């Protein structure tokens, strides 16, 4: 399945984008492909080229594009109104479903983006602990806030716990409020937590950091030492929530944090995110319970809006059905195996990293990668070329991740493995 060239309409849109938007895009995936339509596990660009889609809108479309049940729920709600700024029944029902599903969740507060949810979660920990510093892990992604953009993708990682800013425009003072440890290094994290136990407001971690799974005992050790010192443990589950399991990464890995953040899947493709956690910590959103000094205001025009809520509820109903996760994992394993074989047969040194629902190939001679620094010697030029060759053969993905959906079927798997095999051969 080879895609064709761009038509005049798409080329004109590309030129318009370059004229009216910085870098010619939304700041997300860098490509001149302009998507017009998505159905199930595939998308079509403006020129009519068809792709098996493993970008999935950067993950939200876990049940596939334009799922009939999600569309029906959305269309019914659209006729009743888009947003109210007041409580609505669907948002309340979605919050109740999240509380039932996630071990850490006693209560839920909605926002619109993962960046907001992560920023609120860190602020919530500060309000609860009455301390200011947050410990994160090098290479961990926690949104686009000033605090989130500390040591996310440093090209020259530091040799200490000091954070490094990843963006222009961030005050230097923010660096002093973040501590950084290497992911999967429990001893280093324990040492930092012990040394700064009287300053730390919280520890934030992706239970699966980007594509790097936790090593045995890492999350359990973080849970133990944070509990020992009464420091809130925050799981950033914007990506892993309802993806690794219905109960999220915390259920999949068997470790319960004090607070978690959610996004992507819970909105079914519409703007929605959430902070969930223990009732006594979430009480800081309620002035009547904590008083003016402890109150943490949180206002968002579209927070919990009914269209996103009904899309999320419909998505979760689909995922809750027997066999849903077994199907997603089986599809992922088949694509993983096809990718691994294609690269091996072509003599390419590469490591497949992740979990079956979310993974990618790293062009490296390493036998394993357990932290951010292990990704720094990946052959990015080879990876970029492989992704270009794959895209030319009708497989749409980001440069760093393959998302699997419930909608991907046997034909998608077959076409994908064929594209991987041909691209790997050309790369060789």
Q: Rounded mean pLDDT of 183-191?
A: 97
DSSP 8-class letter at 170: -
Q: What are 219-259's pLDDT values in tens digits?
A: 999 999 999 999 999 999 999 999 999 999 999 999 999 99
Are 35 and 97 contained in the same domain? no
141 is a catalytic site residue: yes
Q: Rounded mean pLDDT of 325-334?
A: 98
Q: Which of 45, 53, 118, 236 is catalytic?
A: 236
Domain that includes residue 179, residue range? 68-319
Are 21 and 131 contained in the same domain? no
Are 256 and 299 contained in the same domain? yes
What global pTM score does this model have? 0.96
Total domains in the fold of the chain = 2
Q: Rounded mean pLDDT of 276-305?
A: 97
Strand pairing class (351-355; 358-362): antiparallel
For residue 293, pLDDT over 80 is answered with yes
Query: Could you tell me what percent of the chain has a pLDDT over 70?
Result: 99
Q: Rounded mean pLDDT of 161-179?
A: 91
264 is a catalytic site residue: yes
Are 33 and 102 contained in the same domain? no
DSSP 8-class letter at 339: H
How much is the pLDDT for 239?
98
Are 180 and 167 contained in the same domain? yes
236 is a catalytic site residue: yes
Phi/psi at 320 (nearest 5 deg)?
A: -80, -10
Mean pLDDT over each residue of the chain, to the nearest integer: 95
Q: Which of 54, 120, 141, 372 is catalytic?
A: 141
Q: Which residue has the higher pLDDT, 337 or 166?
A: 337
CATH of the domain at 217: 3.40.640.10
Cα distances (Å, whole numbers) of residue 158 to 112, 209, 378: 33, 19, 19
How much is the pLDDT for 344?
97
User: What count of residues does the chain have?
Assistant: 428
Strand pairing class (200-205; 233-237): parallel
Q: Is residue 85 part of a domain?
A: yes
């Amino acid at each position: 399945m080879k895609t064709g060239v761009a038509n005049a309409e798409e080329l004109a849109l590309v030129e318009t984008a370059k004229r009216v938007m910085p870098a010619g895009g939304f700041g997300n995936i860098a490509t001149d492909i302009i998507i017009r339509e998505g159905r199930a596990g595939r998308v079509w660009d403006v020129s009519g080229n068809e792709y098996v889609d493993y970008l999935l809108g950067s993950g939200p479309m876990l049940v596939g594009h334009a799922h009939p049940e999600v569309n029906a729920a959305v269309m019914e709600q659209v006729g009743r109104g888009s947003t109210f700024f007041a409580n609505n029944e669907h948002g309340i029902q979605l919050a109740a479903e999240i509380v039932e599903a996630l071990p850490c969740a006693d209560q839920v507060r909605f926002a619109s983006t993962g960046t907001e949810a992560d920023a609120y979660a860190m602020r919530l920990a500060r309000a609860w602990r009455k301390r200011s510093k947050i410990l994160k892990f090098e290479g961990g992604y926690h949104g686009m806030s000033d605090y989130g953009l500390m040591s996310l993708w440093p090209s020259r990682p530091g040799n200490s716990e000091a954070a490094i800013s990843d963006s222009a425009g961030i005050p230097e003072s923010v660096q002093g409020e973040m501590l950084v440890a290497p992911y999967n290094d429990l001893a280093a994290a324990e040492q930092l937590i012990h040394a700064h136990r009287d300053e730390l407001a919280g520890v934030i971690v992706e239970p699966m950091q980007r594509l790097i799974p936790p090593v045995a005992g890492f999350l359990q050790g973080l849970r133990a030492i944070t509990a020992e010192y009464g420091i809130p443990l925050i799981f950033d589950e914007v990506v892993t929530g309802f993806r690794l399991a219905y109960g999220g990464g915390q259920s999949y890995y068997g470790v319960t944090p004090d607070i978690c953040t959610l996004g992507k899947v819970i909105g079914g493709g519409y703007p929605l995110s959430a902070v969930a956690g223990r009732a006594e910590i979430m009480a800081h959103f309620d002035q009547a319970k904590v008083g003016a000094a402890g109150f943490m205001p949180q206002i968002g025009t579209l927070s919990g809006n009914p269209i996103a809520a009904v899309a999320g509820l419909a998505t979760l109903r689909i995922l809750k059905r027997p066999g849903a996760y077994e199907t997603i994992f089986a599809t992922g394993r088949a694509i993983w195996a096809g990718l691994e074989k294609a690269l091996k047969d072509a003599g390419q040194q590469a490591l497949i990293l992740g979990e079956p629902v979310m993974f990618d190939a790293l062009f490296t001679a390493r036998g394993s990668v357990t932290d951010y620094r292990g990704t720094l010697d990946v052959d990015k030029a080879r990876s970029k070329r492989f992704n270009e060759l794959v895209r030319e053969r009708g497989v749409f993905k980001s440069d760093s991740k393959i998302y699997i959906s419930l909608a991907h079927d046997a034909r998608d798997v077959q076409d994908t493995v064929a594209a991987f095999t041909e691209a790997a051969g050309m790369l060789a």
